[in-house]
């Protein structure tokens, strides 16, 4: 008689769970084994090279271009670290952190978004500021000169959704001036607003100055006076659940260093 037939019903259920767990563990470990040659923290990379620390950075969509530049610079000066960026609207990033998505650093485009996950982060530090501009098609074909022009119902205006920091800032400055705008769409990120204007699907939209600068060969930027504008702040923080706490804190600190700040300034971001 085999041992399986000797088990009680409870014993058979326990054995089945253990077997299922072993199968699941094998399935989860297989992709990791396939990537082993790339090296993980504390493990040698190809041909016994130095250990590689991998950091995942969740960053506001408006940081897309500058963080690609910053990431390359950081990896050059920190050869044992590799950065992976995930760009989206700050509200989406906060949702990811709240749901326990694995990551090491969070950078949002407003302090309110960061405040929603303060229990999950170390103390945040503001690394940059930004301001809004009106993005129009190249050559500004509809002659948009100021905020009140966006109330023209003949214009197709697009804004970021209300839950997106850029959307909150946009509505704040429009409401302050008593300007009623009916957007043809509300986008999930400021980069989506910029894309609509770039592709001609919208005549104008409110984006950050740095976004317009990144697409200056495709859109024009109409400046908004400081008295009518809003200041966007970008806080950065390491996540408490990071498996690379020291490296995550080092990257956040580097963003405030002369090198990191120089890259942000060159891209048009303002001092914290």
- Are the CB atoms for 135 and 150 separated by under 8 Å? no
What is the separation of C-alpha 191 from the centre of its chain, rounded to a whole number of angstroms? 11
Taking CA atoms, 262 is separated from 26, 68, 98, 167, 205, in Å, by 46, 14, 32, 27, 28
- For the chain, the average pLDDT equals 86
Q: How far apart are CA 197 and CA 208, in angstroms?
A: 13
Query: What is the location of CATH 3.40.190.10 in the chain?
Result: 50-129+233-266, 130-231
- Residue 266 CA to residue 83 CA, distance in Å, equals 21
CATH of 130-231, one of 3.30.360.10, 3.80.10.10, 3.40.190.10, 3.40.50.2000: 3.40.190.10
State the fold for domain 50-129+233-266.
D-Maltodextrin-Binding Protein; domain 2 (3.40.190)
Taking residues 2-17, report their average pLDDT: 39
Q: What does the chain come to in residues?
A: 272
pLDDT tier at 41, thresholds 50, 70, 90: very low
Q: Confidence band (pLDDT; 50, 70, 90) for 159?
A: very high
162 touches 171 (CB < 8 A): yes
**Mean pLDDT for the stretch of residues 62-79:** 97
Both tokens of residue 267?
């891209």
Helices 165-176 & 190-198 angle (0-180, nearest 10): 80
Does the pTM of the predicted model rise above 0.75? yes
Packed helices 64-77 and 258-266: angle between N→C axes, nearest 10 degrees: 150
pLDDT digits (tens, 9 = 90+) for 237-252: 999 999 999 999 999 9
In 3D, which of 221, 225, 217 has the Cα closest to residue 207? 221
CB–CB of 67/74 below 8 Å?
Answer: no
Residue 40's pLDDT is 39
Which residues neighbour 87 within 8 Å (Cβ) at sequence distance 6 or greater?
59, 60, 61, 63, 64, 67, 191
Rounded distance between C-alpha atoms, residue 135 and residue 120, angstroms:
35
Least confident of 15-19, 169-173, 266-270: 15-19
Reported as a single tens digit per residue, the pLDDT across 187-206 is: 999 999 999 999 999 999 99
């Amino acid at each position: 008689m085999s041992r399986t037939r000797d088990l009680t019903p409870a014993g058979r259920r326990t054995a089945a769970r253990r077997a299922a767990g072993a199968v699941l563990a094998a399935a989860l470990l297989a992709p990791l084994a396939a990537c082993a040659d790339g090296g993980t923290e504390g493990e040698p990379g190809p041909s016994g090279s130095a250990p590689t620390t991998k950091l995942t950075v969740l960053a506001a969509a408006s940081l897309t271009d500058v963080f690609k530049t910053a990431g390359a610079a950081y990896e050059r000066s920190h050869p044992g670290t590799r950065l992976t960026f995930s760009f989206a609207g700050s509200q989406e990033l906060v949702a990811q952190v709240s749901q326990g998505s694995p990551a090491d650093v969070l950078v949002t485009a407003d302090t309110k978004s960061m405040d929603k996950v303060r229990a999950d982060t170390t103390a945040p530090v503001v690394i940059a500021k930004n301001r809004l501009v009106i993005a129009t098609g190249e050559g500004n074909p509809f002659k948009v000169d100021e905020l009140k022009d966006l109330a023209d119902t003949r214009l197709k205006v697009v804004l970021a959704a209300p839950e997106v920091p850029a959307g909150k800032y946009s509505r704040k400055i429009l409401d302050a001036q008593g300007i009623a705008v009916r957007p043809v769409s509300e986008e999930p990120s400021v980069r989506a607003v910029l894309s609509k204007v770039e592709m001609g699907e919208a005549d104008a939209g409110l984006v950050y100055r740095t976004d317009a600068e990144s697409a200056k060969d495709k859109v024009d930027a109409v400046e908004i006076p400081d008295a009518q504008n809003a200041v966007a702040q970008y806080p950065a923080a390491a996540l408490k659940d990071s498996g690379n706490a020291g490296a995550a804190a080092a990257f956040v600190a580097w963003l405030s260093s002369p090198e990191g700040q120089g890259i942000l300034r060159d891209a048009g971001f303002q001092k914290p």
